[in-house]
Amino acid sequence: MTDTTVKTIADLTREFGVTARTIRFYEAEGMLSPERAGTQRLYHPRDRVRLKLILRGKRLGFSLAEIREIIDLYDSAPGEVAQLHHFLDKIAERRADLAQKQRDIEVTMKELQQVEESCRSRLSELAPRDGREAAE
C-alpha cells in the first residue's frame, strides 16, 4: 500500500504551479525540510501545508523573510513569558499589516467599480444592446 500523502517534487510543482527550482530554493532558505529517501526528496502533508503558507504569503506581497517570521509564529514552542509577550507583539504587527491591506483592497475595489461603471455606460452609448446580462 503506497502512501499517497507522500509526494515527489514534481507532484508539488503540478499541485501548486511553481517550479522545482522554487521549491528547492525555499528549502535552501530553511523554509522547507522534506524527508530524504537516499538523495530524493519526499514531501509529507506538513511540507505541503508549509508550501501553501509560503505561497499565500507571496500572494499577499510578503517577502520570504516576513513569511518565515509568520510561519515561525505558527509552529514555535510554548516558550517563556518574555518570549510570549514578544510573540504577541509580532502577531499584533502582522495583524495591523493585514488590516492595512484590507483597507487598501477595499478602496481599490471601489475605484475599480467606478471605472467599470463608466466603462459600461460609455459602452451602452456607443453600442446599445450589447450588454452582458443576457449573454452566455
Binding residues for its own copies, rule: CB under 8 A, are 56, 58-62, 70, 73-74, 78-81, 84-85, 87-88, 91, 94-95, 98, 100-102, 104-105, 107-109, 111-112, 115-116, 119-120, 122-123, 126-127, 130
Beta partners for residue 35, in sequence order: 42
From its own copies, DNA, none, interface partner of 70 (C-beta below 5 to 8 A by class): its own copies
User: How far apart are the C-alpha atoms of 120 and 132, rounded to whole Å?
Assistant: 10
At residue 7, what are phi and psi to the nearest 5 degrees? -115, 155
From DNA, its own copies, none, interface partner of 96 (C-beta below 5 to 8 A by class): none
Q: Which span sits near DNA by CB under 7 A: 13-21, 71-79, 85-93, 111-119?
A: 13-21
Instruction: Please give the grid coordinates belonging to residue 89.
Output: 507583539
- Judged on CB neighbours under 10 Å (0-12, 13-18, 19+), 44 is middle
Residue 53 contacts DNA per CB under 7 A: no
